[in-house]
Amino acid sequence: MLAALKDALAAAGMALRGGFAPESGDLVPLLDTGATARTVLLIGNVGGAMWQPFAASGAQDRYAADPMDRWTRDVLDPLAAAFGAKPLYPSDGPPYHPFQRWAARAEAVHVSPLRIFIHPAYGLWHAYRAAFLVAEALRLPAPAFADSPCLTCADRPCLSSCPVGAFTENGLDDLRCARHVDGPGGAECRDNGCLARRACPVGRGHAYPPQQMAFHMEAFLARRR
């Protein structure tokens, strides 16, 4: 089952990001049958692999709002049905499903100083597209857990690269960020992606292509306008 799922995901530029056997503290909802899911599979995107399939899908012409989220559902709802899984999405909510908590159960990701999760190989260039809840206990390869690369990063350039200091002790000041990015001095972040995220030395080779950077920035601004 997992090999077939991986192949189907690869066609959409997505990847299986690992999985875990849920426990009560994981806040995993029940299946539609009322039973407890025995496996949660996490699906995501790493590096720029998803951009081309998404751009070629026509979703940006088809959907005026949230085209990537809607395309994700178009791709993954039928796949989940074919695999007998219940799909959950990061944008379901509020209240939101705790995708980052689940991610930390499934693979070697850690909270970065920017609060988004860092992966030892992909750095900050990855995200989650869905969780598939499965009734059966699937045998999953053991995750290759590793320490956070931030522990040995003395300079922490991510924290000094935001032109308006939007990363505060309390997390991202998204209003301050959006005002800058949407303003006359924000073209560099708007067109080429968040300067703080791009300052991270980990996984630079996996950075999203410029069109994807600009797409995510515009989506972030659209939520605030």
Does position 218 bind ligand B12 by CB under 6 A? no
Q: How many residues bind ligand B12 (CB under 6 A)?
A: 24
Residues 42/106, Cβ–Cβ less than 8 Å: yes
Give rounded-to-5 percent helix, strand, coil for the chain.
40, 15, 45
Which residues have C-beta within 8 Å of that of residue 117, sequence separation ≥ 6?
Answer: 100, 103, 104, 109, 110, 111, 126
Determine the distance from the C-alpha atom of residue 66 to the mean position of all C-alpha atoms in its chain, rounded to a whole number. 15
* Min CB(139)–ligand B12 separation in Å: 25
139 or 195: CB nearest ligand B12: 195
Does position 209 bind ligand B12 by CB under 6 A? no
In whole angstroms, what is the distance from residue 82 CA to residue 74 CA?
13
Does position 19 bind ligand B12 by CB under 6 A? no
Residues 112/147, Cβ–Cβ less than 8 Å: no
Which range, of 32-40, 75-83, 143-151, 216-224, touches ligand B12 by CB under 6 A?
Answer: 216-224
* Min CB(217)–ligand B12 separation in Å: 6
**Residues 94-133 contacting ligand B12, CB under 6 A:** 96-101, 104, 111, 114-117, 126-128
The radius of gyration of the chain from alpha carbons, rounded to an integer in Å, stands at 18
Kindly list the residues in this chain that would bind ligand B12 in the complex (CB under 6 A). 90-91, 96-101, 104, 111, 114-117, 126-128, 171-172, 174, 216-217, 220, 223
